[in-house]
Structure 1
Amino acid sequence: MMRTIFCLVISEADVASKGGIFDFNATLPLMMLQFLVLMLVMNYLFYRPVTDILDERADYIRNSLTTASTYLLRADELTLKYEESLAKARKEAQETIQKSQKEAQEIVAMNIKEAQREAEQLIYEAYEQLNIQKEKVLKTLENQVDILSNQIKSKLVSRRFL
């Protein structure tokens, strides 16, 4: 094994003495030509499809961002519209509640007035009934007083004559 390493070192030394990788002979232009051909082939086969895919991806991202911003603007508009509608509905609901409360208060006030009027009517009727009964009682009492006074008179007169 040592012998093979020694042989390799010697052959390397022979190659180095004959010329290296950067010798300026016919191999340099050939290497340059190979490098350019390799660059063109790599550009055509590898770099162009990769750049096309990257460009398509950039376009897709750009379109997605544009669409997303459009949707976001639309969502903001809808949000404002719905907030305005909600505010309007709340305002209408408040107005309806206030109107209903006012109507309820008016109905209650009207019912109270009606009840007061009925109570006054009942009181008036009761007063009239009491007055009628009072008159009847007074007439009855007057009749009884007249009868009693006549009886007393007649007893007094009869005692006087007796």
Structure 2
Amino acid sequence: MTSWLLLAAAGTPEGGLFDLDATLPLMAVQVVLLTFILNALFFRPIGRTVEEREGYIATSRADSKQKLAQAQRLEADLKTQLKEARQEAQKLIVAAEEETDRLYRDALAAAMADSNASREKARREIDTQRETAMGQILLDADQLGDLIVQRLLAAQ
């Protein structure tokens, strides 16, 4: 027990951990004052800048979404137009092939008709020349026969 009494009589040393003189309220005032100064000088402008950037990012995202939706609509429209153009081109190709085939068949038919007409004309000419030649041969044969008969009769 004496040790407790000695400790109580000795008192507390100055400058300890919980020294409650005027420095604690002064430090509290300094901290509050420094907080207000830092808030006014640094934190509000930085906060405004951060809010502006957040607003810019939000508007940029909204614009990007709108542009993406517009690009997707345009892509769908272009795909539809491309599909229609391909179908139209396919129709034109089929029509051109049919037209070419028809023209080929018409030209072939015309060539065949022309060829048949030329062949028929040539056949008629050949027939005419053959008949003329046969007539001439018969005439020559008659003349030759008459000549032979005359020479045979003259030789007797």
| TM-score, normalised via structure 1 length | 0.77
Q: Which residue of 2 aligns with 1:118?
A: 114
CA deviations over 1:67-111 (Å, ceiling 9, x no partner)? 112112212222222222222222222222222122111111111
SS of residue paired to 1:52? helix
Greater Cα offset, 88-97 or 114-123: 88-97
Q: Work out the CA distance in 1 between the residues paired with 2:147 and 2:29.
A: 168
Q: Tell me the equivalent position of 1:58.
A: 54
SS in 1 for 2:133: helix
Q: 3-state DSSP class of the match of 2:21? A: coil
Match of 1:81 among 55, 74, 77: 77
Asked which structure has the greater RCO (Cα within 8 Å, sep 6+), the reply is 1
Which has the higher mean CA deviation after the structures are superposed, 97-106 or 141-150? 141-150
Match of 2:123 in 1: 127
Q: How many residues are treated as equivalent by the alignment?
A: 145
Alignment equivalent of 1:108, drawn from 77, 83, 104: 104
TM-fit CA distance, 1:65: 1.4
Deviations 1:5-41 (A, max 9, x none): xxxxxxxxxxx93234632233322322222222122
CA-atom RMSD in angstroms: 2.3
Match of 1:98 in 2: 94
TM-score, normalised via structure 2 length: 0.80
Could you tell me which of 141, 147, 153 is aligned with 1:145?
141
Look up the equivalent residue of 2:39 and give its one-letter code: N
Gap runs ≥5 in structure 2: 1-11
For residue 48 of structure 1, report the CA deviation from its aligned partner: 1.3
Residue 42 of structure 1: how far off its partner (Å): 1.6
